[in-house]
Amino acid sequence: MENIKLIKDKWEELNLSKVQSEWDEINQSLKSFQDNSINSRKELASSTKAFIKLSDKEKISGFKNLFKSYQTEIDNLTQRCKFSEQNWLENYKKFINLSSPSEALEFIIEEFNLKDRELNQKTEKLNEIQSRVDQLLSVNIDLQAEFNDLKVENDALKGKVDELETLQQTFDSTLEEQINIRESELQTEYSQKFETFQEREQSLLKQIKEKLLAERYNLTLNQLNLVKQQNEELQLKFVKLKDENKGLTTTIEQLKADPNAPLDESAQQTNQTLKNTIEDQEDEINKLITEVNALKLSQTQKDSQFNLELKRIKDQLETEQSKKVDLQQKLDKQKDYDKIQTELNVLKGVEFGSNGQQNLSSEAEFDLMSSLKQKNDKLQAEITNLKQSEDESKVKLTDLESEQSKWKQELKEKTELVRKLEADLLAQSNNNNGVNGTGGSRTQSPNSTPVSPNPNDQKLVTIITGQRDRFRSRNLELEEELNQTQENLKNLSLELNQLKFENLKLFEKLKYKNQFQTIGTSSSTSFNEGSKDTIIEMQTTNNIHKKYEEEYNLKNNPFKEFNQREQSKRYRQLHPIDRLVLNLTRLLTMNRYTRFGLLGYIVLLHLLVFFITWHKLVFKGDETEIDSDD
């Protein structure tokens, strides 16, 4: 946003209407120059024709007038060239510091695209919420139907209770015992159902967290891709600037060689093409501004619609929550239903035998076993998903680190190139000063106007320094973006550590569930049949997740803590020299490369000593032989 504001301020400072009026004045002056030059040329042509027709004696007297007319024409042409060059350089200075609005418009378009994506995501979330609300409504309708059925059954039960008062007196003792058993079973079932609901909520929260992490990661990747594109654009601009610098140096050398030379038709054509391109760019900018305004209007309309829908859904949710609270209060008031149902089951058992109660207990145990199985499967699936996400994030971290190292190298190369450019510019300015000093002794005609190349060179140097400053600011922006990417990498590493910690916690929960299931096998035969499958499943998962088991064992190993404490104690008791030697040996034997390097160093030392001793022995033998010969 700061870049967009800067571009806007620069374009406001330029004041295009004022510049256009100045260009109109310049064009009028240029047209007057052209008309004057055409008239003067016609006069020169007529005077030259008349001069050719004159005799030799008359030519001597008429030559001075013709020479003066040619001299004035040359002076007019030089003034025209000077005027056009000065105006062109002033306009160039005005527009060279302006950055192109295309980048700002692209940034605005990307922001609109991001907002559209966010709107789509929000609409998806709203659809999910709507589906959940519909499910809750259906559940509420089912509960209302059950409640009405229960009312009907309650009315029927009241009549049966009146009929069975005589039987109730005889079986009071047995009824109380069976009611207590059934109450405990119902309490366990209720607590299990409550735990399942809590686990479902936790799993949904984890899924939402994972989605948020994925969105953050996609945003970081998009930012990195943008940095890459900007880096490539900078490289292309740098190459273009190099080519332009070479062209400018050639033009400077040509101007220094013959400063009084008139402009070619190609220069006039290039000037005209530049004006045409500027007008086309202004038209494109106006079109883009209109498109951006239209997009803003559409975005505001979408935001208003979205806010209205959000309010409507929030109101619906509040009404549903109030209905839910009312139903919960009704259920709390009608807690006697469980007692009445237990009494009915007991009475049925008394009337039709005890088989019904046994079937009920086996069904309850089967439901408990199936819920435990489902929980176990969910936890296993969550562990596998978390492991996959951890591996993917590790791979992405390595890729990002490699890309970061590449960007650092490219930045170093660019800084070196900028330094070289500065040195070349300084050398070129020194050469220009030397050339100006030597060229001051030229003889000029009295009527001709002197043309000095110094101001043009200074203008070119200021233009190039402005470009250099802009490149420096761009490099600083890239460094800031690199720092942001490094911070994102640190955040990702912290999230990875948190995921590892959560995986360990999940493994502990799974281990606890496995132990709970193995202990529960001794309670009933029906529960034993279902628990065998879960134990086999847990054995297979333990084979998969050996890594987490090792980490869990290391974490809960008291011998490891004792060993670490003893090592730290011994290390503190060591002499400083011994500590230094120990740290050096750890450094040398830390990696495979350091070990190979130490081994190579030792081998090279031995070879060097062996070579020196052999060399000395050979040369001493030769010297003794020479002495004996003498």
Mean pLDDT of the chain: 69
Q: Determine the Cα angle at 373 with ends 367 and 376, to 5°.
A: 145
For tokens 């009549």, what's the residue?
Answer: 159
- Report the percent of the chain where pLDDT is more than 70: 53
Residue 444 predicted with pLDDT over 70: no
CA-nearest of 528, 413, 88 to 268 is 88
Helix and strand tally (H, E) in the chain?
15, 0
Residue 571 tokens, joined: 């290390």
* Secondary structure letter of residue 440 according to DSSP: G
What band does 435 get if pLDDT is binned at 50, 70 and 90? Answer: very low
Residue 174 predicted with pLDDT over 90: no
CB–CB of 547/504 below 8 Å? no
Residue 96 tokens, joined: 């060279």
What band does 240 get if pLDDT is binned at 50, 70 and 90? Answer: low
CA distance 575 to 571: 9
pLDDT of residue 307: 67
Half-sphere exposure (Cβ direction) of 314: Cα atoms closer than 13 Å: 6
For tokens 């120990």, what's the residue?
Answer: 582
CA-nearest of 338, 344, 332, 335 to 184 is 338
Q: Is 534 exposed, middle or buried (0-12, 13-18, 19+ CB in 10 A)?
A: buried
pLDDT of residue 210: 73
Stated pTM of the model: 0.23
Q: Which range, 334-343, 430-439, 507-516, 607-616, has the best average confidence (pLDDT)?
A: 607-616
Q: Give the 3-state secondary structure percentages of the chain, helix then strand then coil, rounded to 5.
A: 95, 0, 5
CB–CB of 420/530 below 8 Å? no
